[in-house]
Amino acid sequence: MSNVLIVAEQHQGALRKATLHAVAAGRELAQRTGGKLHVALLGAGVKGLAAGLTRHGAEVHVADAAVLEKPVAEAHAPVVVAIAKATRATFVGAAATAYGKDLLPRAAALLDAGMATEVLSFGGDGAQVTFRRPMWAGNVLAEVEIASAVKVFTVRPTEFAASAPDAAGSVVDEPVSVDAGGLQTRHVSFEEVKSARPELTEARVIVSGGRGTKGDFKPIEALADLLGAAVGATRAAVDAGWVPNDMQVGQTGKVVAPELYIAAGISGAIQHLAGMKGSKIIVAVNKDEEAPVFQIADYGLVGDLFKVLPELGQKLAPK
Amino acid sequence: MIQRTLFREEHELFRATVRKFIDREIRPYHHQWEKDGVVPRELWLKAGEAGLLCCTIPEEYGGLGLDYLFDVVVFEELARSGFTGPGSGFMVHADLVATYIRSFGTEEQKQTWLPRMVKGEAIGALGMTEPHAGSDLKNVRTRAVIDGDSYVINGQKVFISNGQLCDVIVLATKTATDVGASGITLFLVDASLPGFKRGRALPKLGMKAQDTSELFFEDLRVPASAMLGQEGGGFGIMMTKLAQERLAQTIRSAAVAEEVISYTVDYVAQREAFGKTIGDFQNTQFKLAELKTEVVIGRVFTDRCIQLFMDGQLDAVDAAMAKMWLSNLHCKVVDECLQFFGGWGYMWEYPIARAYVDARVVKIAGGAIEVMKHIIGRSLFEGKIAKKPAKSRSSAQNGKQVMPESGT
Amino acid sequence: MALKVLVTAKRVEDPESKIKVRPDGGGIVTDGVNYKMNPFDEIAVEEALRLKEKHGGEVVVASIGGDRSVTEIRAALAMGADRGVLVKHDGPLDPVVVSALLAKVCEAEKPDLVILGKQSIDDDQNQAGQYLAARLGRPQATFASKKESLESEAEAKKEPGLRLGADGKTIQVVREIDGGIETLELRLPAVVTTDLRLNKPRFASLPGIMKAKKKPVQEIAATSLGVDLTPKVVLKKLAEPPARKGGVRVADVEELWKKLHDEAKAL
């Protein structure tokens, strides 16, 4: 019987979507091990979010204090550790967001625990849980065991369907004893960046262009803007001088695993595929029906990207 | 897999640097330089700063005094990258011009030019070939006539790499006519002197970013101190450096051949036709097997020649064999591999297309295949055939193709 | 306001090498694989060099691994770092062990700032920096980035992204997090991990490579540091990821939209 603690994430009063995917992972684990599901919710003025979380069958531990208002790992980690100890959690997990990746390892160290980052699925039998995670930029799938008493992990949200609010739980108020004056970290500012495109490796959606664009990336960029997506490119496009280096997706560029990857005018050279085959859904648009990219695309459309992309844009934002 | 044993850790660290340099400073711009027909000065300065130029020049002349293998690393990585603009330009500058100055220059000449060449501030060119004299270098017509304590030079050169930007030229002239090779004298010509005129960069079949030019010398006056080596000693000087010149080109061809096979294999492994990949066809595998084997043989031979050269034991015949065999292999590999790319192989955006056009000149420049064969063939019969009578001047004047003692 | 900075330089497989799993699933095929410094660590080394160029001080580079790891230390020295420390260990490592060993090195070196790559591209765990900060009881700032783009003037001038406070006691770090840019100020000594857009690392110039040969590299046996070397994260089995199968062909945008919007709920 092993208890599971999932660390929720909220941002400026709203629960992050990724949390529900982590809760789903937590529910799976709790079911397997016959343990109880706990959720930790840290922040300031966040008690209102607790009720919603209980409906996922969790005992929600709310640590609400001014010192926790900002997501500072130095302040949040000891709180997570205290709740983990109080709930006798064997498993402590979160979504592999910037917050989860920043915070959980610090908490793991304080718990003297081993940790598996960006878990895609759980393996093993019953209570003997193993963790499957990508290594070598997704070229290898590793099954790992964590040998410490407490096992910490983060999950890739796209691999666990969001939990549905179909159960009942409870709320516990947790005292917070973090001394604000003793912190060595000061949160200076947070600037929301709306206009700039997301970073390729963190983007949820990527629209990429290759040779087929013949150097004209406007349709790619226009669709990306409508989708709030990042713009990627193949090595060929970069070498031809059409786009800068840092847009290159591929073995020698960036390795990405977005929810949706739209490959336009990309034939699908192995080098490029290596950089994006971890994407949840791949859409390929290419004039050449023999293009290798169609072999790995979930949805393939043989057509001219200069017609297809704007048409798709029309569907998103009908003018 | 036969491992290469030439290089030590510092060479491999440097190789990583050269690769990064190429990726950052050359790759994004080479297509533009092909349109411009020249590699800009900024690149030379950056290369100098990173230490890519003239690695063997001693410290007292502004260099690092390192072994030849550092130069080899630069030549190999540029060759592999396919970016022949800087590739051939740097090779001429470092391996030929700087070497000539270092080996035969006076103290003043070395101090004047070498430190700037190491930094990329002064770009070197080799002025030898003329419109009517390529392999038959003895027949250059550019004249250098003594006038007081200077020489006045008149003539022209053609096919000169780095011609558009060069600051210093190692120029082959005739100081005495009617005496064949022993009338040739080399000068270190400062390109800023009046009387030096750059002609146009010549549009070529390949190596489009390399500024191959015509150069004109009209009453160009150089001080006597600009003479490189002894008067009449030019040909002899050139002979001593031939093995090195041929080796550098061998190194280039070996690296290109290896790289082309590697990306051809990558391509055919995923390109499909008739229900399988091109790589599945027996013809593909057999052809590539043959080419790969020859490339490995070429690699072993090249590395052996590099070692011999560093030990001071690479003779002209070995160097000629290496240049001949690897040049032929280079051209064969790009031709056969292009076929596997089908229509795409003919498209400029594919590296194989550029490799194909860039390759053709290696059988001609820096020692034509026929000259190599002559050197090798003749060496077989040294001492075995009765000496021919001395060549008469009249046959040279009749413009007959006189067999060169050793040509370039 | 001289800063003593400790950076890491892990030896990892070159991403351009083809990574293949051994048939027995016990590891990857190492034959024919090239190695290089972890790219995120390279960024860490670069940042440390910029801080030294701006404020003075010393850059010490540490690597944990077998004999060959000294090559990556030399690569960092060639970039301009001053000294190297090789913690020799041939056995398996995990972030728990790595952070414990690094903590011991920090005990001896007492750096003002430790900069590590956010993750190494072999295990992609993204933990060592955070673990180290916790062990040292010091503040952390992960995924350090920069407001200015890598094509900007500031980057060309090799400005550090990490900003040392006027009194030399704090450091400001800009982080790219979900939805925006966060700035944290940490009291030194502190631990920072680097992200891709923090800087463009310089390449080691040839003069730098030759100078590096004379810079001191201290070798310490991991077993002599009094640390439990048993990894807590144990690799049970490695496998190639399942091959993606081709999906369906759609006839037109209408059908594609239906699939993406209604079925996959991706749009």
Regarding whether A109 and A176 lie in a shared domain, the answer is: yes
**Full DSSP string of chain C:** --EEEEEE--EEE-TTSPP-B-TTSSSB--TT--EEE-HHHHHHHHHHHHHHHHH-EEEEEEEEESGGGHHHHHHHHHHT--EEEEEE--S---HHHHHHHHHHHHHHH--SEEEEES--TTT----HHHHHHHHHT--EEEEEE-SS-TTSHHHHTT--SSEE-TTSSEEEEEEEETTEEEEEEEESSEEEEE-GGG--PPPPPHHHHHHHTTS-EEEEEGGGG------SEEEEEEEPPPPPPP-EEESSHHHHHHIIIIIS---
Tell me which CATH code domain B236-380 carries. 1.20.140.10
Query: Which among B32, B271, B272 has the least Cβ separation from residue A241?
Result: B32
Query: Distance (Å) from the C-alpha of residue C75 to the closest C-alpha of chain B?
Result: 7
| A156 in the same domain as A115 | yes
Please say whether the beta carbons of C146 and C161 come within 8 A.
yes
The reply to whether A147 and A212 lie within a common domain is no
User: CA–CA separation, A24 vs A6, rounded Å?
Assistant: 10
pLDDT in tens, chain C (267 residues): 799 999 999 999 987 788 899 999 999 999 889 899 999 999 999 999 999 999 999 999 999 999 999 999 999 999 999 999 999 999 999 999 999 999 999 999 999 999 999 999 999 999 999 999 999 999 999 999 988 877 788 898 999 999 999 999 999 999 988 777 899 999 999 999 999 889 999 989 999 999 999 999 999 999 999 999 999 999 999 999 887 777 899 999 999 999 988 888 777
Measured distance CA(C36)–CA(A251) in Å, rounded: 15
Contact A292 B271 (CB under 8 A): yes
Q: How far apart are CA C58 and CA B330, in angstroms?
A: 49
Domain with A21, as residue range(s), is 3-182
CB–CB contact C259 A282 (8 Å):
no
Cα separation of C108 and C218, whole Å? 12
Interface check for C252 against chain A (CB to CB < 8 A): the answer is: yes
Which residues contact residue A215 at a Cβ distance below 8 angstroms, ignoring those fewer than 6 apart? A237, A240, A242
Q: Which residue has the higher pLDDT, C18 or A151?
A: A151
Predicted local distance difference test score (pLDDT) of residue B399? 42
Helix (H) or strand (E) holding A40: strand A37-43
**For residue C230, what are the domain limits?**
3-240
User: Token pair 């900024």 is at which residue?
Assistant: B42
Taking contacts as CB-CB distances below 8 angstroms, the residues of chain B near C207 are: 51, 64
Question: The domain that contains C194 carries what CATH number?
Answer: 3.40.50.620
Of A103, A107, A301, nearest to C250 by CB-CB distance is A301
pLDDT at A224 over 70: yes
- Residues A112 and A37 occupy one common structural domain: yes
For domain B9-123, the CATH class is mainly alpha
Residue B408: predicted pLDDT: 40
**What is the domain partition of chain B in residue ranges?**
9-123, 126-230, 236-380
Same domain, A175 and A26: yes
Q: Does residue A26 sit in the same domain as residue A128?
A: yes
- Are B95 and B71 in contact by the 8 Å Cβ rule? The answer is yes
A175 and A219 in a single domain? The answer is no
Tell whether A154 is covered by a domain.
Answer: yes
Cα–Cα distance measured from residue B134 to residue B83, given in angstroms and rounded to the nearest whole number: 25
Residue A194 pLDDT: 62
More confident residue, A41 or A248: A41
**Whole-angstrom distance, CA of residue B340 vs CA of residue B331:** 15
Nearest chain A CA: its distance from C172 CA (Å): 9
Overall domain count for chain C:
1
Which of C113, C114, C122, C124 would you mutate first to test chain A, the one with the most A CBs within 10 A?
C124
pLDDT score, position B396: 43
Query: pLDDT confidence of B234, banded at 50, 70, 90?
Result: very high
Q: Tell me how many residue pairs between chain B and chain C have CB atoms under 8 A apart.
A: 49
Chain C positions contacting chain B at CB under 8 Å are 32, 36, 71, 74-75, 78, 200, 203-210, 212-213
Domain-located, residue C7: yes
Q: Which of B1, B7, B17 to mutate to test the interface with C (most CBs of C within 10 A)?
A: B17
The reply to whether residue A269 touches residue B349, judged by beta carbons under 8 angstroms, is: no
Residue pair B199/B101 in contact by the 8 Å Cβ criterion = no
- Which positions 20-59 of B are in contact with C (Cβ < 8 Å)? 20-21, 24, 49-52, 55
Answer yes or no: is C136 within a domain: yes
Indicate whether A8 belongs to any domain. Answer: yes
Two tokens, residue C242: 């399942």
Q: Is B266 on the interface with C (CB under 8 A)?
A: no
Residue-wise burial string across B143-182, b where 16 or more C-beta atoms lie within 10 A, e elsewhere: bbeeeeebbbbbbbbbbbbbbbbbbbbbbbbbbeeeebbe
The answer to whether residue A90 sits within a structural domain is yes
Q: Is some CB atom of chain C closer than 8 A to the CB atom of B6? A: no
Does A190 contact C240 at a Cβ distance shorter than 8 Å?
no
- DSSP H or E stretch at residue A59: strand A59-64
Distance CA C57, CA C140 (A): 21
Is A195 among the domain residues?
A: no
Q: Is the peptide bond before B40 cis (omega within 30 degrees of 0)?
A: no
Residue of C72, C209, C211, C214 to mutate, interface with B, max B Cβ within 10 Å: C209
The CATH number fitting domain B126-230, selected from 3.30.360.10, 3.50.50.60, 3.40.50.1110, 2.40.110.10: 2.40.110.10
Question: Inter-chain contact B24–C200, Cβ cutoff 8 Å?
Answer: yes
pLDDT, tens digit (0-9, with 9 covering 90-100), for A68-101: 999 999 999 999 999 999 999 999 999 999 999 9
Q: Are A161 and A308 found together in one domain?
A: no
Within the 123-182 window of chain C, which residues sit less than 8 Å (CB to CB) from chain A? 123-127, 129-131, 133-135, 138-143, 150-151, 170, 172, 175-182
CB count within 10 Å of CB B122 equals 23
Chain B contacts to A (CB-CB under 8 A):
27-29, 31-32, 266, 269-272, 349
Same domain assignment for residues A47 and A110:
yes
Residue C181: inside a domain, yes or no?
Answer: yes
Nearest alpha carbon to residue A185 among A116, A114, A118, A106? A106
Strands of B96-246, DSSP E? 124-127, 143-147, 150-160, 168-174, 184-190, 196-201, 213-223, 227-228
- If asked whether residues A15 and A141 sit together in one domain, one would say yes
Q: Based on the domain organization, do A43 and A136 belong to the same domain? A: yes
Chains interfacing with C (3 or more CB pairs < 8 Å): A, B
Q: Which residue has the higher pLDDT, B301 or C34?
A: B301
CA B317 to chain centre: 18
The pair of structure tokens assigned to A309 is 């992309």
DSSP 3-state of B49: helix
CATH number of domain containing A268: 3.40.50.1220
Residue A71's CATH number: 3.40.50.620
Tell me the chain B residues in contact with residue A245 when contact means C-beta distances shorter than 8 Å: 28
More confident residue, A270 or A89: A89
Q: What ipTM was assigned to the predicted interfaces of this complex?
A: 0.94
Q: Which residues of B have a catalytic role annotated? A: 245
List of chain A residues whose C-beta atoms are within 8 Å of the C-beta of residue B270 = 268-270, 292
Residues A140 and A169 in one domain: yes
- Is A210 contained in some domain? yes
Asked if residue C253 belongs to a domain, the reply is: no
Determine the residue of chain A that is closest to B31 in CA distance: A240
Instruction: State the total domains in chain A.
Output: 2
d(CA B300, CA C20): 28
A1 in contact with B, Cβ within 8 Å? no
pLDDT at A243: 86
CA distance A37 to chain C (A): 23
Nearest-5° Cα angle at C149, C146 to C153 = 105
